[in-house]
Structure 1
Amino acid sequence: MSVRLCILGSGSKGNCTLLATEKTRLLIDAGLNRKETYTRLAAVGERADGFDALVISHEHTDHVSGLRLLALDLKIPVYISSATRDALPSDRKIRAFEHFAPGVKFTIGDVEITPFSIPHDAVDPVAFTFQTQGIKIGLVTDLGYIPEVVKQHVRGCHCLVFESNHDLEMLKVGPYPWYVKQRVMSRQGHLSNNATAGFLTEDYDGVAQVLVLAHLSETNNHPEIARLTAEQALVQRTRGHQPELHLASQTTPTPIFRF
């Protein structure tokens, strides 16, 4: 059994994740440019070829800026919802689109993928779970609150990548214009550290071996605040075990997590 996961970059400047088995290699989102994606793959000992597909969560620039050049260079299809495809700028569209529907499972190689709708200010945003070889991985970022459907889908994950975008007080006193602050704090925005902590205390099932906090704001958060808030939430739990806690970064890849 060999399943590998690496968050190559996570944040408002670009998101990209590697998921690989012995038979299938995927990139989830393409928010880094082609050169930076290849540089980060090399940094963790992964080839910049031999991919099977690119999977896209939504059309925001930090998730699709490298889409066209990566897909053309790697000669791979892009899996995307029809509404998200239609929302892409023309310079990010290619011919090799494959379409999925939120809530409907699909398979690439030996990986079963479940996209599910999340509350965010995009046309058809989704998060994902990936299942292969008895391992389940959840990738959940870019959501303003945590509806029941999200809680249901992430149950049983052996690895959970979950948003912890901002510290609410840092956001309130930070440099963003008020309308941007309102957008981030809205039910179509991003999860605060406290919102994620509430999920970890009340709804997280305690199954995950690895928990990765992701999409941390470089302006309105601090890694140690996010880490401490999550750790305090986890120790309050009365069931499950303590996961190995990691933080995804905008500038450097995580270690490769192996399952």
Structure 2
Amino acid sequence: MKYCAIASGSNGNCYYVAKGEDAVLIDVGINTKHIELRMGNLGIDPSRIKAVFITHEHSDHIRGLSVFCKRYQIPVYWTAGTCQGSRLHLPAHLVHIIAANARINIGEISVLGIPKFHDAKEPCSFVVTDGSTNVSIMTDLGRGCDNVKHVIQHSDVLLLESNYDEEMLEGGRYSYYLKNRIRSGWGHISNKTSLELFLQYRSSRLKHLILGHLSEQNNTVELVEQIFLPHCDHIKFSIATRYQETDMFYLEDILQLRQIGA
């Protein structure tokens, strides 16, 4: 399997996972021009995307959806609540309403919906699997609920939210309302909570940790690296940002490097 983050942050999110000829996107939260540019950098042909899965209706997850799915005639899978909350009018033949805990087969891969706590109408995260390898995209988590813990335990590749530093948020310029929304249990998880979840629930099968959805105002790449890197001796560690796409990662290459390191 191969995977990457095309964009990750409060200004836009888009993640790519593929096996063979079967490729899906999780969220389309940046405009189509920038998606195409970043896909071009990674050697991805947008017309080869088989499906788009949308986690929830916030603008940083659907901003480019309408233009992108119409241009390439790509089916969109989302919950009824997400569809309603988006207020987008997509062609009927492209729209597929799914349960928050659905399992959708796309060729060689399956996409599993993971219900979660977030301040949206019917949100879910997604795990993409080929039956033996699980690539989990877990952002916009209000809290580390049982579903989140279960996914972490069974992930081979985990893209996990590490949104904010608690002290930076408290001392920052955000309004009292927005600060409380972020840390309410329905917004996002902090670096501290993310680390606790990672350390407590990761298993020996985890091969790659990617931290994502970092706040621009209340976090830094350097801080997240400082917090997590000491705990990642035996796995690959990456950070996905809003500024550019990550590398394209190939699980087979990571497994080979792990064997060499062992």
Q: Answer yes or no: same fold by TM over 0.5.
A: yes
Partners of 2:52 and 2:76 within 8 A in 1: yes
Match in the other structure for 2:181: 183
Establish whether residue 48 from structure 1 lines up as the match of residue 46 from structure 2: yes
Query: Paired residue for 1:258?
Result: 250
> Which blocks of at least 5 consecutive residues in structure 2 are unaligned?
252-262
Hey, what does 1:238 align to over in structure 2?
none
Give runs of aligned pairs for residues 10-25 of structure 1, distance below 5 A: 10-25=8-23
Aligned to 2:103: 105
C-alpha distance after superposition, 1:84-136 (max 9, x if no partner): 1111124x533211121122312111111110111110011111111116211
Alignment match, 2:222: 224
1:205-252: CA deviations, max 9, x gaps?
2421110000001110011111121234x26xxxxx722110001010
TM-score by length of 2: 0.92
Amino acid across the alignment from 1:220: N
CA-CA distance at 1:48 after TM superposition: 2.6
SS of residue paired to 2:112: strand
Q: 1:138 aligns to what?
A: 136
Residue 43 of structure 1 and its aligned partner are, at CA, apart by 1.0
Stretches of structure 1 that go unaligned for 5 or more consecutive residues are 236-240
Q: How many residues of Structure 1 are paired with residues of Structure 2 in the alignment?
A: 250
Summarize the Cα distance change of 1:93–1:112 in structure 2 as closer, same or farther, 3 Å threshold: same
The answer to whether the 8 Å contact 1:200/1:230 transfers is no
Flag the structure with higher helix content.
2
For residues 163 and 36 of structure 2, the distance between their equivalents in structure 1, rounded to whole angstroms, comes to: 26
- Computed over aligned residues only, the root mean square deviation of the Cα atoms, in angstroms, reads 1.4
SS of 2:120's partner is coil
- CA distance in 1 between counterparts of 2:156 and 2:40 reads 26
Question: Equivalent pairs: percent with the same residue?
Answer: 30
Q: Of 84, 91, 95, which aligns to 1:94?
A: 91
Contact 1:196 1:230 in 2 (8 A): no
Q: Where does structure 1 differ by over 6 angstroms across 4 or more consecutive aligned residues?
A: none
**Whole-angstrom distance in 1 between the partners of 2:95 and 2:44:** 25
Secondary structure of 2:49's counterpart equals coil
| Amino acid across the alignment from 2:43 | G
Cα distance in 1 for partners of 2:82, 2:224 equals: 30
User: Amino acid of the residue matched to residue 45 of structure 2?
Assistant: R
Q: What is the alpha-carbon distance in structure 2 between the residues aligned to residue 74 and residue 154 of structure 1?
A: 33
What is the CA–CA distance in structure 2 between the aligned matches of 1:47 and 1:135, rounded to whole Å? 23
The structure 2 residue matched to 1:66, chosen from 64, 67, 70, is 64
Matches within 5 A, 1:209-248: 209-232=207-230, 234=231, 242-248=234-240
